[in-house]
Structure 1
């Protein structure tokens, strides 16, 4: 255990011999740059450090920080919580300045190289790289050839807007570059989140350590993106293109879109019309000026690149050539990630910039070169072998981990196609301190740094994302392999002023009360998010009422009423036969198993857990639209699904929590969301689903002859949370007409059918794209629904010779009109029909 003795955190810390250690020097003393932070951690004491660890985990979870990992036996991503080590990696300003110079030089090099390979290709004529690396590479996109020369803006400004660089520190204390990420680099959002978390749980330490701020990097990035958009007189329309919630770094996509103020879109949200890119919004088509992409090159345009891609936009490349849309980073930049280029970067730097690399490469050899192959195979155990393409499924390996048949198979692969591989010398990477319950222990680390263009060339984020392995035996340190993360603190020589994304006073901001357009997919997701919320809450209330009634059997409660509410469970979950089957008598005698399954088994389609899971999935598609409190409620719902349900008490506890969280979500969406287009679709989904649920519930009661059962009407009042009001009005007397009136026709009851229709008609008025004196399909469907409803009232329903038949037919008509209204809204706002062009003469 940790004690309060000076530097006891380092008592069990044992750096490796012959390896540079970030925390301690060769004599085993804490380095000067770490002394203040180590002392600050020590003064907190073991108990408080545990509390801060819990606080950090809580903040990360509440913020929804995750990283999706992929299993070899499953195509679906598995969501993994983001792991952050509390002890930062520290670097002094003098040390950082050298890295900064090297990274800015590397950005200039990559930008020059990118321009050249898609224009004059001097690098080939001067034989600075083997031509086959370029010509045989699937990442060299011939469709992008000449794109930089024809673009006026890119001819004068950096083509490469940003890139990231992965580095390690060697045993000599110097940094070595391992690789670059260019086309859609990730990590900056996670780095920002790490910084926010540490500054919140160690506010005094963070302030007193005088750490350089990272917000200035994002301010420069946003300014560069706005300049690249090339729009004057208005704010440019910038979107962040994501592959979707299944992508490994989807959290970061949603996080950055919100932080930078851009609309998060997927490929299906965009369309090309007349060589211009438009976002398909519920307001109509909105032209896009710039796409900040997180989709890889080959998937960006299925018309000219990967034909089966569903992530990109058909016709996008032609729109780029026409100068009608800008892309960051440019399509085609993935060639710079080809690992076969790594051995040639020092020569390329001399060729393009006339100087040596400031940051050396880790010694790397391309096996397509006979001399390189011969040198490597003399001592293959010194190298890690990787494929030249990042898309290759072959995992990196070392000869130290290969033996027998595996080794022979790998040697055969190299012999068969040596051009497919590079060999990178295994550098003994520096060790870094990891905070554990027993103080510090060493781990391996890779540092990712971030560079963006600015007014004066390139600018490096004064910080970074450090990935750390908790095992010293791990040579491969990646997030996919379970690495933790650290924040990188660059210490300043003076107190840092606060940096934010707030616009300087010198820049004028036009007041606006309208956001950019809502993509049709987002509106659709919000619509179904609300429907799943209502559906889950309605089911939870029915489950709870059923459980209460089952527990009252011993008190001689009317059994038929209990059977009816259990039948209703099967009816609303569509889980037939259930309590409506031939063996229903056995289930009535022992209903717990069926209730438990329908409430907690996520694989039962239509059950409560299934609908909650669908709700959570829908929320992830629009997480950039949800408030922090709504996200926390969603996390609570996910936690509820993990709860073990073994008894009636635990079932009731589970249902109470679900209802509370769902009610909180409804309240938050009503009180905290601005009344813009997205909110009206959310509200429409809620009102439509609540109407449908009420009809289904009433249909079930009538079907099982609960119409004549007083207790069944009491169940209806409880399920719809109106029993207190009803008892106050009618002194507790249960009457069929009065119950149906308060549930169907009473507009003061926010759960009545009449109230839902009022709200539906109100929302329809505020939907976008409405013109006066014109009636739209959804308006006609709503009018038909309203007319059908208003044709009846309680006196008419009960004044007929066969009221049950009359009510049954009427409810079915209402249900039909609700479906028509939902379909009309979907057809007009959530579906875009692309213009079709016939190719050929139609004769095959």
Structure 2
């Protein structure tokens, strides 16, 4: 079986094969995996691959390729087969990476400190001072324990002779470690037995060490400026506040940033969530200002501070550089560290290593020439066919160029550019990348791979993650491994005799005073996202149910039997923009446009009212007295509303929900994400016509997923401040929806069937189990208006809203409860036998005022909590 498995596997003969030796026999550390694969059927492997892909999709693992139409929903590319490294080989890699991280840290400290390497001629001054990444405001900045480089990554490639070479250093804000951790979590579920049998080293302790090390240095920063919570000094057992600074949800690695924040238990913040006061960094939370001691940043150097670095940046924090200079905050990695990523430095590292560390470089860099040196420029031009030409500085903004691809006039033009600005170019020897196995179709294939290895600083030295991110060249050009050009990834297995213990720091002991029972780090941005997540989730549910009720009547009930409910349901679809009146009846739309302008309403609101109701609320409305459009017209527009994000409807609302959820990744559980991703609209071609059965299946699945997500909210979230804003958003949205549909139902013909109303309100099962009879107005309205046990009733929403608003008001002051209290009392004062009947103008008016009140309170909450720069305490002091 093993020979059969390898029969179709072919790797290029002039590259190192990670899996097979020169005689095409499996290397010892691969044999266990291959024997296991050889014993499995193709069907089982296909199932494993599908499981991995499904896990990636359901976990919401994404990587944003800017040119990809999928945008922030582009799935991460993970191949089912890992890269396996034996322990003895890994020991050498680990030692080399520790040495290199130590060297880079010392170079960084010297360049921004005494600059002895420049003085001794080991580094050309023009290479440093001509680099856009050299940040002059950071000169002289002091670092705790002499560590400026807290997190380091290095890209490795293996030459045909098996030698590992360094291709590039990642020192600014290295990405990919979170993806490596996610890769392991997914592959571990696919090959749990193999991980145990091969004694694969775990990754979790590396991240624990990183967090503990940052906390150690954070405590040193806290000693400056009286820096505990709200400015008070830290207690001996109190943890410093570490935050992860992100550029935002449209960054290509935003998923990883959110994943790491959730895994490490750190607040994920954007620049607007932070402020600098008197040289101290603060997190703006609803509970007040919280001092920040450590910033684990994923924002590029020059975007971090619009005051001193890049004035047009909206991603950073004004004054952050000054706070770091004073030693009041630790920034990991230190500002200015992007300078070390220049390939132009690689050729100078051997001498720098001898000078700074007193030893030879353990792992060589790929042969590199900085063309700013005349001799190097001429050698690079002479060997152009064998080299890759890369930008020396990030400001060049150009892709690598393979010399062998340049022909004729293009070659001459490129050489001319090199001669005109030689300092902007680095020439690097082209390494023929090693080949690793990937599973494609029903068998093994080979593709070029590279390895990114990570190290973190500790007070005792650097430690290396036992593994890393293996990247596979699955794009159109196998010479380039880059995620932005469609590259894939693999899990990396490092074998060991037993789990290697990492260096540990002294652990703090949590005391009773440190116990936390609320969300003390909830920023206004995060509270706003939670609020709108609640609203958007319930809005999705409302739209799905309305579409399902309407399409059921359209597909399954003949026009003659639809009765009085059909015009009402149709009007609701117009009100919620599911039927486009401009497209279906331009003449009516034009008349309504004039009318709505005079009445201050939208066209859909005007058309969504019936004649009777408009007379009680907005007199003089012009409305068609019966069904407005043909069945064919309605079917066409509603099917589009189910699946097309180009029109108002379910698909668009699902996209909006996904976008909001993307900014809450670190707060949503994996199970919650799985439910959300099952609901994401499936891709269809533009000319695909949705069938009736497909439409109903989509609506059923969406409703089920939304119910699952609601269950996570009710049963899986602690009732802290964040949950209260989410719950408020959900209840306000539901109150508005229920108020609207009941207003319209109440002006329907008294003999109309009420099944649709109970279905739309998700209350039909309760009604049938209680009354076992055809729905009647009195019990229906009692269930939907006054029943305190019904989660869809008006009373239930009012009661929940008032409880949340009053709870928040204890700390933050009045926030809208006074609008709802008299409405609730008025609702309870209704006499069931006399007031709950179809056509009750008083009840219709009450529902209308509830609708307006919910809109007003939503606006009040937004202004009071989501649109400010000062903390609540600051604002109350000023008042």
The Cα of 1:64 is off from its aligned counterpart by: 1.7
Structure 1 equivalent of residue 703 of structure 2? 659
Other-structure match for 1:98: 92
* Residues 102-159 of structure 1: per-residue CA shift (max 9 Å, x gap): 11111111111111111111121112122111112211111111112xx5x2xx3422
Partner of 1:117: 111
> 1:309-708 to 2 correspondence within 5 Å?
309-470=313-474, 474-492=478-496, 494-496=497-499, 512-554=516-558, 556-573=560-577, 576-577=580-581, 582=587, 585-604=628-647, 606-639=648-681, 646-701=690-745, 706-708=747-749
CA apart distance, 1:386: 0.9
Aligned equivalent of 1:57, options 50, 53, 72: 53
CA RMSD of aligned residues (A): 2.9
The normalised TM-score by structure 1 is: 0.90
Question: Which residue in the other structure is 1:751 paired with?
Answer: 792
Instruction: Assess, with a 3 A threshold, how the Cα gap between structure 1 residues 229 and 793 changes in structure 2: closer, same or farther.
Output: farther
Aligned pair partner of 1:777 in 803, 807, 815: 815
Structure 2 residue matching 1:691: 3-state secondary structure: helix
CA distance in 1, matches of 2:502, 2:330: 28
Secondary structure of the structure 1 residue equivalent to 2:748: helix
Does residue 202 of structure 1 match 2:191? yes
Give the equivalent residue in structure 1 for 2:758. Answer: 717
Which piece of structure 1 moves more, 684-693 or 821-830? 821-830
| 1:637 CA drift (Å) | 0.7
Pairwise CA distance, 1:394: 1.2
Contact 2:297 2:333 in 1 (8 A): yes
Label 1:504 to 1:54 Cα distance change in 2 as closer, same or farther (>3 A): farther
Match 1:19 to one of 15, 18, 33? 15
Aligned equivalents of 1:532 and 1:697: distance in 2? Answer: 18
Asked whether the equivalents of residues 805 and 815 of structure 2 are also in contact (C-alpha less than 8 Å), the reply is no
Alpha-carbon distance in structure 2 between the residues aligned to 1:221 and 1:301:
25
- Give 1:818 deviation, angstroms: 1.4
Q: 1:765 to 1:642 in 2, by over 3 A?
A: farther
Q: Indicate if the aligned counterparts of 1:572 and 1:696 stay in contact, CA closer than 8 A.
A: no
1:489-548 superposed Cα distances (whole Å, 9 cap, x missing partner): 2222x23379999x9999557654445422221111111111111111111111111111
Q: Residue 367 of structure 1: CA displacement?
A: 1.4
Q: What residue ranges of structure 2 are gaps of 5+ in the alignment?
A: 223-235, 589-626, 872-879
- Residue 74 of structure 2 is aligned to residue 80 of structure 1: yes
| Residue matched to 1:159 | 148
User: Which is further off, 328-337 or 434-443?
Assistant: 434-443
Contact 1:278 1:287 in 2 (8 A): yes
> Which one is further off, 655-664 or 46-55?
46-55
Structure 2: distance between partners of 1:388 and 1:770: 58
**More deviation, 713-722/445-454:** 713-722
Asked whether the equivalents of residues 166 and 366 of structure 2 are also in contact (C-alpha less than 8 Å), the reply is: yes
Give, in whole Å, the separation in 2 of the partners of 1:787 and 1:683.
22
Cα contact 2:156–2:168 (8 A) shared by 1: yes
Are the structure 2 counterparts of residues 735 and 514 from structure 1 closer, same or farther at C-alpha, using a change threshold of 3 Å?
closer
Asked whether the 8 Å contact 2:580–2:637 carries over to 1, the reply is no
Deviations 1:786-834, CA, capped at 9 Å, x for gaps: 46656766678679xx965544443332222212211222222222235
Aligned length: 813
Residue segments in structure 1 that go unaligned for 5+ positions in a row: 836-844
Distance (Å, rounded) in 2 between the aligned partners of 1:828 and 1:60: 39
Decide whether the 8 Å contact of 1:640 with 1:658 is kept in 2. Answer: no
2:127 to 118, 123, 133: 133
C-alpha separation in 1, matches of 2:697 and 2:502: 46
Query: Distance in 2 between the 1:206 and 1:259 partners?
Result: 22
The 1-side partners of 2:455 and 2:273 are apart by 29
User: 2:149 matched to 1:146?
Assistant: no
Quick one: which of 855, 861, 873 aligns to 1:819? 855
SS at match of 2:848: helix
Shift of 1:373: 0.5
Q: Once structures 1 and 2 are overlaid, which stretch shifts more, 109-118 or 515-524?
A: 515-524
Deviation at 1:431, TM superposition (A): 2.0
SS in 1 for 2:641: helix
The aligned runs of 1:21-40 (5 Å cut-off) are 21-40=17-36
Is the alpha carbon distance of 1:459 and 1:649 closer, same or farther for their aligned partners in structure 2, counting shifts above 3 Å?
same
Question: Residue in 1 aligned with 2:271?
Answer: 267
CA offset at residue 257 of structure 1? 1.1
